[in-house]
Amino acid sequence: MHFVIMGCGRVGSTLAKSLSKRGHDVAVIDVEPASFRRLGSSFEGMTVTGLGFDRDTLRSARIDEAYAFAAVSSGDNSNILAARVARETFGVEHVVARIYDPGRAMVYQRLGIPTVATVRWTSDQMLQRLLPQGSVPSMTDPSGRVVVAEVPLAKGWIGKRISEIESITSSRIAFLSRLGEGMVPGPNTVFQDGDLVHVAAAIQDLPRIEKLYDQAPPAH
């Protein structure tokens, strides 16, 4: 798959090298050509000098072919703008933006763009928000058998009741993050665009749930 990353700092370069090592095509955008040195001589992806929210720059990075886009520059405003352009102009469904100010998370969530705050960033969290069928574990019981994990739901589930999603997928949704705030869903709570779903599951059952959540619901 093809991935586009805006920002070649410590986060962006680590992310780019991780994706490249997994066999994916990667294009990295940065306004400073010297930043690409962080990628090292073994990096086989593409580097593009320019602003990550500029349409021509994005086209040079083959945004039209991108499975996912990550905005991880040093500026919150640049990141959210670039993520919006990738999603709204070029139709990239999988986008994630890094933020420095967690107080802006609610605004980002209203725009339907998942965010990773600096205070809790790891490359694994960013990778799993970009890659398909990726869960982000947030809590594991002491025995390691039960996990609460953020699992992305495909767009086709929007408008479905949480109880219906649980029934179809044989899963248990512990809570939702909506507009930056947590909520415990009731039986009539409807899954909305931008909701982050946190599932409680046995660790060995998580791959099955990830696969079902990544697909559109079955037609009746």
Whole-number Å distance between alpha carbons of 209 and 97:
25
Whole-number Å distance between alpha carbons of 72 and 66:
16
pLDDT at 179: 76
Contact 112, 83 (CB under 8 A): no
pLDDT at 27: 96
Task: From first to last of the 220 residues of the chain, give the pLDDT tens digit.
Answer: 999 999 998 888 988 998 998 889 999 999 999 999 999 888 999 999 999 999 999 999 999 999 999 999 888 889 889 998 999 999 998 888 887 776 666 666 666 677 666 544 445 556 656 655 555 555 666 666 788 888 888 889 999 999 999 999 999 999 998 877 889 998 899 999 888 888 998 888 888 888 898 888 887 6
- In this prediction the pTM is 0.58
pLDDT at 177: 86
DSSP conformation class of 161: B
Contacts 24+ apart (CB under 8 A), 82-87: 82/6, 82/52, 82/53, 82/58, 83/111, 83/113, 84/111, 84/113, 85/53, 85/55, 85/58, 86/4, 86/58, 87/112, 87/113
pLDDT at 128: 58
pLDDT at 34: 93
Q: Look at residues 81, 208, 109, 215 and name the one whose alpha carbon lies nearest to residue 160.
A: 215
pLDDT at 136: 55
pLDDT at 220: 65
